Chains A and B, each alone.
Chain A
């Protein structure tokens, strides 16, 4: 049994801050199912391990697709890697796969970079024989991506932007509410996006007695259930997102606690980026001197 280097095979910028990469990982491509994620790191000794959802897999190429937004130190560094470069660590597939079954009508709501992990789930829901309505939200047209991929299979795609530069000028909760009010209520809502969006989706759906599944993205270290850094409260119980999740019954998730814990290392992260910028400047200065 051999593990090949995790080489980047393809890279594309999807929107202002969102990138897509295909990475060689035949052993993960083989086993992965919709809803699962990976942990990656870009430096063997000093890297940080971050979770990213597997957006797609290609068995022929032996690759998985990841889509990420440059938000923190590691995602920004990741975006600077090019085709041919290798990731230092790639662990997966992690987490419980999405339960895909034929229910009838399923509404899939994706916000921001959450549109990426929604894609394989929505596609499988369709393949299982459901009527699939997708609601995709972004701040503006520039930040929107993959709408064509959804249009290719979905029964309906509703696009919302905050400024109306594409689709409706609305929050995703507006069409979601309309769909819940229709005579033929959805049998299931799947919402993936920033925690605050998922929280409001859940609150929108709650009065209509429709089940809603959310996919949580917390801080993680090992991804194997060993550290408890990814814990959230669900229905009053402590759950570990990496082994019990990442999908949970949205009606039971304590979103406020989740949002709070995501702030845990913010000040350190900011300092780190500053330090890094500082080091880059120093390096640039050294290089300049050499050139002189």
Chain B
């Protein structure tokens, strides 16, 4: 096996604590005192000198044995100190980077003076799911990459921690007791059907309900929340947060129907023609997992990350002895891919008792699409990265169970059209990694069900729904947004598209 393949961080077991809460609070304290002394009136140069506040996390050696949330969130003092690093730029480049253009500078200003209530109010004008987005948005490629402070300090990692601050105020709000549902306009007599309860669907349901329309959400699964519920694990996004958002919809008067697969339980067109809905929003997500198409992919022990994570999260297979749903039990696991889904699968495998977890990714660390924080956490927990490697075939025994993965080494070639240097296989560099499970996390195609069962809807060659800026599809009264339009994307983009579609639906229904 090539030496470069094993790059497990050498010291992860020895380090006693990684960002423990007391230590971090102690670090923040003198800065907080100083801020108070200055009555929070600082010059930009002084602000730039305040050190970045790290977020407390569960210790790596403990957390990879439990399913509790890894990141613990800022303390109020830390949040205030971090917020005071913001330079309050006139041009607000951070807002440019945000897909829904949250008033970042302004909410940070409120946090900086300790007005958390105002901060969350400002966020909620544009975002419905701040507790989720603060946790799962790829801030380092959106708002934080544009941040003036990061540029000034010549290190994007030194940007203001916008995501952590967003998370902090959202959690603060929940900690203050029951959240009041937003006011809804008087009943309009119009009815909106929302298909899918992921971030796109939740957003449309809330916005249309607020405009006074009766809203019904149809969800195929028995629980609501889409990928936030079945895909993203508890240790990264506690399910209680998603459940609270869903409950809020219920309290607003949105009707939520589980176990309802539009296309099969009822045709989409029938919702409009026979069931009296005035508009339909399609937010069914990406669905259909891709496989590698290599030898041995049907062996026992090979599964898609979607299947593995759904068994673990939604079906609670991690609660052994309680859950009826089985899950692959493996000591050595290979995960194929380099995105958030791959990181989640790898870290879930650790928590389910795997001793060795290898992440096999075709490009180098720089190209990994996963959030920087997840890559960092995965490494700290002991996931071993096999970069510039790709799976060639899966090997199995006579019973058809996986025994090993044969990998091939790659090197980076010339940059392609997108500017990324594409990996080129090194002939003869095959090596065998003994494993008893292989989890495939190389992306999704779009689910064909609605396409198969609805006439007149236009899809592109990748199977994604074609719509205009406002989410209008080729069928009258039918709108769409989220992963089914974008391909596998992000929570914030799904929410952003939901917002636009809801505005268009509300406008149509007002006419």
Contacts and interface: CB of A to CB of B under 8 A. Distances in A.
A50 to B, nearest CB: 9
Given A48-B325, A268-B326, A90 B400 contact: no
B324 A74 contact: yes
Interface stretch (A11-19, A179-187, A223-231, A282-290): A223-231
A292 interface: no
A225 B291 CA distance: 13
Contacts of B257: 1, 3
Given A228-B303, A228-B307, A257-B298, A222 B324 contact: no
Given A27-B266, A260-B400, A264-B300, A238 B288 contact: no
B176 interface: no
A120 to B, nearest CB: 17
B222 interface: yes
A261 B298 contact: yes
Contact of A91 (B216, B261, B321, B323): B261
A3 B222 CA distance: 13
Interface stretch (A37-45, A62-70, A100-108, A128-136): A37-45
Given A31-B265, A49-B315, A93-B265, A227 B222 contact: no
Contacts of B306: 226-228
Query: Interface size bucket, B side?
Result: 35 or more
B90 interface: no
Contact of A92 (B264, B316, B447): B264
Contacts of B452: 243
B264 A225 contact: no
A1 B266 CA distance: 12
Interface residues of A, number: 48
Nearest to B300: A264
A27 B287 contact: no
A275 interface: yes
A224 B316 contact: no
**Majority DSSP secondary structure for residues of B touching A:** loop
B203 interface: no
B399 interface: yes
Contact of B307 (A41, A88, A229): A229
A290 to B, nearest CB: 24
Contacts of B399: 260, 263
Interface in A208-261: 221-229, 231, 233, 238, 240, 243, 257, 260-261
Given A225-B287, A243-B448, A46 B264 contact: no
Interface in B305-364: 306-307, 310-311, 315-316, 319, 321-329
B220 A224 contact: yes
B219 to A, nearest CB: 10
B300 A31 contact: no
B326 A265 contact: yes
Contacts of A243: 447-449, 452
B373 interface: no
Contacts of B316: 45-46
Interface string A24-36: 0001100100001
B322 A94 contact: no
Contacts of B304: 227-229
A195 B311 CA distance: 25
Contacts of A3: 257-260
B490 to A, nearest CB: 18
A281 interface: no
A47 B324 contact: yes
B450 to A, nearest CB: 11
B300 A263 contact: yes
A200 interface: no
Contact of A43 (B307, B324, B326, B448): B324
B369 interface: no
Given A28-B265, A31-B265, A263 B326 contact: no
21 contacts: A3-B257, A27-B265, A27-B266, A31-B265, A47-B325, A48-B315, A48-B323, A92-B261, A221-B311, A224-B447, A226-B288, A226-B306, A227-B307, A228-B288, A228-B306, A233-B298, A243-B447, A243-B449, A260-B399, A269-B326, A272-B324
Sort A-B residue pairs by CB-CB distance and give the 8 closest, nearest first.
Answer: A48-B324, A227-B307, A265-B326, A260-B400, A268-B326, A228-B304, A48-B325, A89-B222
Given A3-B260, A48-B323, A48-B325, 5 more contacts: A48-B324, A222-B221, A226-B447, A263-B399, A268-B329
